Amino acid sequence: MADEILSQAEVESLLTTMESQDARAAAALTGGVGAKASSARVRDKISPYDFKRPERVGKEQMRALQSLHEGFGRNFGAALSALLRTIVEVKLTSVDQLTYSEFVFSLENPTCFNLLRAEPLEGHLILDINPSILYPIIDRLLGGGKETVGIARRPLTEIELRLVGRITGLFLQELKHAWKDVISLNLSVERVESNPQLVQIVPPNEVVVLISFELTLGEIRGMLNLCIPFNAIERNSSKLAANTWATYGKSISDPQLRSQLSRQLEGALVELVVTLAESRISTGDLLGLRVGDIITTDKDVSQPLDVAVAGAAKFHAAPGAFKGRKAIQIQTPPHAPSK
């Protein structure tokens, strides 16, 4: 065995075999590192998904809902202020999507839980009014003053439900106006509950859009929540685009509306003031004035008089008399170019 000597061909074959084994080992090592790096890159691109809070409403639709209800909040605040005859500020605080069970368990019990029908949308909507702001509003409707009233932890009485109906009716009126560019809604209150957990309009894990408003009445603040199930607006979600609300609040001039406003304004009373002349005297001279004294002015008798309507200069006029009474004759608007 010791005397056996390898030939040149056998030596070259052994060297070739060793080189190929080293190459395969290096390739395997390199491939393992590359696979790990590739796997790390894939993991970097993966975003976590919480099945308890799925996001089914797109960001564009969420922005559209936010823009829509910001305008609604301003209009509802103005209408509510007119109803209560005091300043009520309505501010949109958030537009979120969450599950129905999360929404229900976040509410107080008892509360004012209004089940709404919004045809032609499928299912129901929810309007929740927090008792912390609801009872002060009811107190205001019953003639209460600015003093703070205690928050009652009880269901609403029949009389209070009728008064709340005026608030929800105003809310539905403004909501219908806000949604008219998306879909014409026929809104109504189906029933009112005090315990929100007794109402199951969708499965607990169903996605809903929660639109929250903060109402401020003097020093009192409270929340008002509008809950819209996703399945109710799913068919019309394509109409909820951000550019739909780019011109929100800009109304097209309607000849019939202009004519109606003109007829209503024709009977409005305005203050008309004619300035004969102006002069300056000292306080001492003013206190010394007696019947028959004459006050001189720099205004020439031939100059026209200034006529102001509601405090704004509108016309030039000449003094005179008509049927035994002092009168003026309108000549030209002020600063009108002479012919």
Between the CA of residue 77 and those of 82, 85, 180, 227, 249, what are the distances in Å?
9, 11, 19, 19, 15
Query: Which two three-digit tokens encode residue 286?
Result: 């003013």
What is the spatial distance between Cα 193 and Cα 208, in angstroms, rounded to a whole number?
19
In this predicted model, which residue has the larger pLDDT, 44 or 112? 112
What is the spatial distance between Cα 66 and Cα 18, in angstroms, rounded to a whole number?
71
What is the spatial distance between Cα 171 and Cα 184, in angstroms, rounded to a whole number?
15
Q: Do 164 and 192 contact (CB within 8 A), yes or no?
A: yes
The pLDDT assigned to 303 comes to 82
Q: Do 83 and 75 contact (CB within 8 A), yes or no?
A: no
The pLDDT assigned to 65 comes to 85
What is the spatial distance between Cα 333 and Cα 182, in angstroms, rounded to a whole number?
46
pLDDT band at 337 (very low <50, low <70, confident <90, very high): very low
The pLDDT assigned to 339 comes to 43
For the chain, the residue count is: 339
The pLDDT assigned to 224 comes to 92
Q: Are strands 220-229 and 207-217 parallel, antiparallel or unpaired?
A: antiparallel
Backbone angles phi, psi at 322, to 5 degrees: -145, 120
81 pLDDT higher than 60: yes
Average pLDDT, the chain: 79
Residue-wise pLDDT for 181-204, tens only, equals 888 889 889 888 888 888 888 888
87 pLDDT higher than 60: yes
pLDDT band at 247 (very low <50, low <70, confident <90, very high): very low
Mean of the pLDDT values across residues 21-26?
A: 65
The pLDDT assigned to 127 comes to 92
Query: Which two three-digit tokens encode residue 186?
Result: 């026929």
Residue-wise pLDDT for 252-293, tens only, equals 556 777 777 787 777 778 888 888 888 888 888 888 888 888
The pLDDT assigned to 245 comes to 45
Residue-wise pLDDT for 291-334, tens only, equals 888 888 877 777 888 888 877 888 888 888 888 888 888 887 66
The pLDDT assigned to 298 comes to 79
The pLDDT assigned to 243 comes to 47
Domains of the chain: 59-250 (3.40.1550.10), 303-334 (no CATH)
Backbone angles phi, psi at 187, to 5 degrees: -100, 140
Q: Do 220 and 136 contact (CB within 8 A), yes or no?
A: yes
What is the spatial distance between Cα 233 and Cα 125, in angstroms, rounded to a whole number?
10
The pLDDT assigned to 92 comes to 92
Q: Do 294 and 306 contact (CB within 8 A), yes or no?
A: no
pLDDT band at 338 (very low <50, low <70, confident <90, very high): very low
What is the spatial distance between Cα 223 and Cα 213, in angstroms, rounded to a whole number?
6
150 pLDDT higher than 80: no
Q: Do 53 and 99 contact (CB within 8 A), yes or no?
A: yes
The pLDDT assigned to 227 comes to 92
Buried b (16+ CB within 10 A) or exposed e, 106-125: ebeebbbbbebebeebeebb
16 pLDDT higher than 70: yes
Query: Which range among 50-64, 212-226, 313-327 shows the weakest confidence by mean pLDDT?
Result: 50-64
Query: Which range among 9-13, 184-188, 211-215, 271-275 shows the weakest confidence by mean pLDDT?
Result: 9-13
30 pLDDT higher than 60: no
In this predicted model, which residue has the larger pLDDT, 181 or 37? 181
104-107: Cβ within 8 A, 24+ apart = 104/196, 104/197, 104/199, 105/197, 107/196, 107/225
The pLDDT assigned to 147 comes to 63
The pLDDT assigned to 226 comes to 92
248 pLDDT higher than 50: no
Mean of the pLDDT values across residues 211-229?
A: 90
- Which candidate, 181, 171, 172, 173, places its Cα nearest to that of 252? 181
The number of beta carbons lying within 10 Å of the beta carbon of residue 167 is: 23
What is the spatial distance between Cα 87 and Cα 74, in angstroms, rounded to a whole number?
12
Q: Do 113 and 194 contact (CB within 8 A), yes or no?
A: yes
pLDDT band at 220 (very low <50, low <70, confident <90, very high): confident
DSSP letter for each residue of 182-243: T---EEEEEEEES-GGG--SS-TT-EEEEEEEEEEETTEEEEEEEEEEHHHHGGGGGG--GG
What is the spatial distance between Cα 192 and Cα 116, in angstroms, rounded to a whole number?
9
